[in-house]
């Protein structure tokens, strides 16, 4: 009798998958109070379920899947499914409220220019620009140096421009900018609603959905607007499909 090893292998793989992939139940609470209408997203499989009035849900998972919950005014919840979770067939998720900030002053926008520029600032930039312009030896171009130390001016203009645009602190170069902060500064509501065709109430969740993607960290190192734009387009398609738009 000839043994078909291919079918044996296929049966073995299906058996393994059956053991590691399963629909499990769970409950989302805050201080033992059930939380209804909470989006529970399987980020790995791009699936989403919503908790019922008792905070309960059922979702298909496999070992290694990433579950993410986004709720306004609550800390984001992230969980990587283990075999123990699947064996237990139950997830108890406790959400905690975000601490209330006593100081509501927001960090200065890193991606926009300061609004107030004095005439003195403009004069400094103009002089510095003229000083750094190339000059033809032996040809009078109508400019008067006014006895300024152009070497010193050239060295100082970089520091001045940085201070003008709110980046005079050297440590800010190494400051990590959150992907969500970048989105807040560079994309308005119309972009999400009109360009990405998202529902207005889904904008916050979509930003969080993009933020947990490891690719967002890579994009923030490059800080290329076009690549981030293309990333958002691609993620919006997956997001809308997941939410059955």
Residue-wise pLDDT for 166-225, tens only, equals 554 544 444 568 899 999 999 999 999 999 999 999 999 999 999 999 999 999 988 899
- Among 46-55, 80-89, 133-142, 230-239, name the one with the lowest average pLDDT: 133-142
Query: How high is the pLDDT of residue 20?
Result: 74
CB atoms inside a 10 Å sphere around CB 164: 17
Contacts 24+ apart (CB under 8 A), 189-196: 196/232, 196/233, 196/236
Greater pLDDT, 156 or 119? 119
Give domain 24-94's CATH number out of 3.40.50.150, 3.60.10.10, 2.60.40.1120, 2.70.98.60: 2.60.40.1120
- Predicted model pTM: 0.56
Look at residue 2 and tell me whether its pLDDT is greater than 90.
no
* Confidence class for position 19, pLDDT limits 50, 70, 90: low
CB atoms inside a 10 Å sphere around CB 10: 11
Domain ranges of the chain: 24-94, 119-165, 174-242
Contact 52, 36 (CB under 8 A): yes
């Amino acid at each position: 009798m000839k043994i078909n090893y291919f079918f044996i292998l296929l049966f073995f793989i299906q058996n393994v998958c059956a053991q590691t992939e399963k629909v499990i139940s769970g409950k989302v609470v805050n201080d033992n109070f059930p939380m209804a209408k909470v989006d529970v997203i399987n980020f790995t499989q791009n699936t989403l379920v919503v908790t019922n009035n008792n905070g309960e849900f059922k979702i298909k998972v496999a070992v290694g899947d990433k579950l993410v919950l986004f709720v306004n005014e609550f800390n984001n919840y992230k969980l990587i499914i283990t075999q123990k979770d699947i064996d237990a067939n139950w997830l108890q998720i406790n959400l905690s409220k975000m601490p209330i900030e006593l100081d509501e002053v927001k960090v200065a926008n890193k991606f926009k220019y300061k609004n107030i520029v004095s005439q003195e600032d403009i004069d400094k930039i103009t002089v510095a620009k003229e000083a750094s312009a190339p000059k033809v030896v032996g040809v009078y171009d109508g400019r008067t140096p006014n006895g300024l130390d152009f070497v010193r001016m050239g060295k100082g203009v970089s520091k001045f421009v940085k201070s003008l645009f709110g980046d005079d602190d050297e440590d800010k170069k190494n400051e990590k900018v959150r992907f969500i902060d970048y989105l807040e500064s560079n994309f308005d509501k119309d972009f999400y609603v009109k360009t990405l065709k998202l529902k207005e109430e889904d904008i916050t969740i979509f930003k969080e959905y993009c933020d947990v993607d490891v690719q967002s960290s890579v994009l923030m190192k490059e800080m290329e607007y076009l690549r981030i734009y293309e990333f958002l387009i691609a993620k919006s398609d997956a997001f809308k499909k997941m939410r059955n738009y």
